[in-house]
Amino acid sequence: MMKSFRLSLVFLVSVVVLFELIAVSHGGELRKNFYKKTCPLAEEIVKDITWKRVATNSSLPAKFLRMHFHDCFIRGCDGSVLLDSTANNTAEKEALPNQSLGGFDVIDEIKRKLEATCPGVVSCADILALAARDSVSFQFNKSMWEVLTGRRDGRISRRQEAVDNIPSATFNFTTLKQSWANKSLTAHDLVVLSGGHTIGVGHCKFFSNRLYNFTGKGDADPSLNAEYAAFLRTQCRGLSDNTTVLPQDPGSVLNFDSHYYTILKLNQGMFQSDAALMTDTQSRRLVDELVDQGTFFTKFAQSMKRMGAIEVLTGTAGEIRKKCNVVN
């Protein structure tokens, strides 16, 4: 009887150990209120500073949303986009798609406050995920989606990996779908999260080929609304315009809403990757659904939760950085 009990106990312990190993190898589990015991005010601190900064800088929601997206697409949501280059390494920040990112100073401010409150507890990866949510939520005075926490910070940040993994503004639907599938995200997530383009600006250099040289013959992209293209040409001075920025969703640049899908249906998506969403039958069907703001908000919340869990480091993987721009 005792022998049988001991064997059962050994088996049970073995199963638990195996489960823990599997959990670590798959990044463990994110969860609600991860810092409830170790840093109870963590999420409140992130929200308070984020809301205070957004109140005086309405461009921050778009910046944080984009930064979080760019972080998650390289090595998962591990805060690697926040790291500075070193003498021996060029970091993700230096990649062309990341050179226009902003808001790093606010992330640093939040981190300093958290380190003063509960040192070495809250990761930069979690700060970024929370700040993205809280910055967008400021407009509504309520939380717009759930952010599970427990991410840890990565130690590696390479410029080339950002170049290789961040979906390009010139991608067609097939290439976009594949780049998102590489991160275990679906075409549904692609269409829904593209709605984030309802806020923020686009740089002429990323879409001027659609205006001036789409096929290499000095022509415009025929899928772009002609009237809108004419307006864009009055703003973007040519293929060499590297400084001009324009609202991605004219008339709704500071409002997080479903208006992006309305302009898509009018063929006024700024980037080729926006227009690509109208080239697939199922995608077009989803665009029609997402014009409804309630539907968009619900689906955006679900897809953000999935994106925020890409290849996360948890448990003992990675580290908790003392400063977000340098490894410990």
Contact 280, 174 (CB under 8 A): no
Measure the CA angle with vertex 289, ends 284 and 293; round to 5°.
Answer: 130
Single out the catalytic residue among 26, 68, 70, 188.
Answer: 70
Distance (Å, rounded) from C-alpha 191 to C-alpha 71? Answer: 19
The yes-or-no answer on residue 203 being catalytic is no
Distance (Å, rounded) from C-alpha 28 to C-alpha 23? Answer: 4
Distance (Å, rounded) from C-alpha 73 to C-alpha 57? Answer: 26
For 29-58, letters b (16+ CB in 10 Å) and e give: ebeeebbeeebeebbebbbebbeebbeeee
Residue owning tokens 């993700």: 92
DSSP-derived pairing of the beta strands 245-247 and 201-203: antiparallel
- Distances, alpha carbon 165 to alpha carbons 14, 68, 180, 252, in Å: 38, 14, 9, 29
Torsion of CA 173, 273, 125, 304, to 10 degrees: -70
Other beta carbons within 10 angstroms of residue 87's beta carbon come to 4
* Element housing 203 (H / E): strand 201-203
* Residues labelled as active-site residues: 70
